[in-house]
Amino acid sequence: MNVHLDQAYWIGLLISVVLPVLVGLVTTRVTHPGAKGVLLLALSTANGFLVELANPGPDYDLQTAIVLSLVAFGTGVLAHFGLWKPAGVSAKAQAVGAKPSSPTGV
């Protein structure tokens, strides 16, 4: 599959916007926000390096991969606080897989 440079960057940007929801799906409500931030940073870093890997250019540029990782992390944080959290998507993602509390407290 041959991915054009523009396509790789757009796909990476789209993934960056969706990453906070993914973090919400794999963590619980009681997970420390710092742990969620570290997970988002790790996924953003992987996204940046994979986007650079998908670049059809002649060589792999580590500096570009680092910049793409930082942009992905910034985009993810902004998407979380500016889009997903106010819209209630973050809370719904956290509720997926959560066990309902029993009325008896047992």
Q: Say yes or no to pLDDT of 17 above 90.
A: yes
Q: What percent of the chain is modeled with pLDDT above 90?
A: 42
* Cβ burial, residue 13 (10 Å; 0-12/13-18/19+): middle
Please check whether residue 17 is in contact with residue 83, taking contact to mean a CB–CB distance below 8 angstroms: yes
Delimit the domains of the chain by residue range.
Answer: 5-95
User: What letter would DSSP give residue 28?
Assistant: -
Q: Model pTM?
A: 0.80
Q: How confident is the model at residue 6 (pLDDT cuts 50, 70, 90)?
A: low
C-alpha distances in angstroms, 92 versus 47, 67, 76, 95?
Answer: 24, 31, 17, 5
Mean pLDDT of the chain: 85
Q: What is the pLDDT of residues 53-97, one digit of tens each?
A: 887 777 888 998 999 999 999 999 999 999 988 998 888 888 886
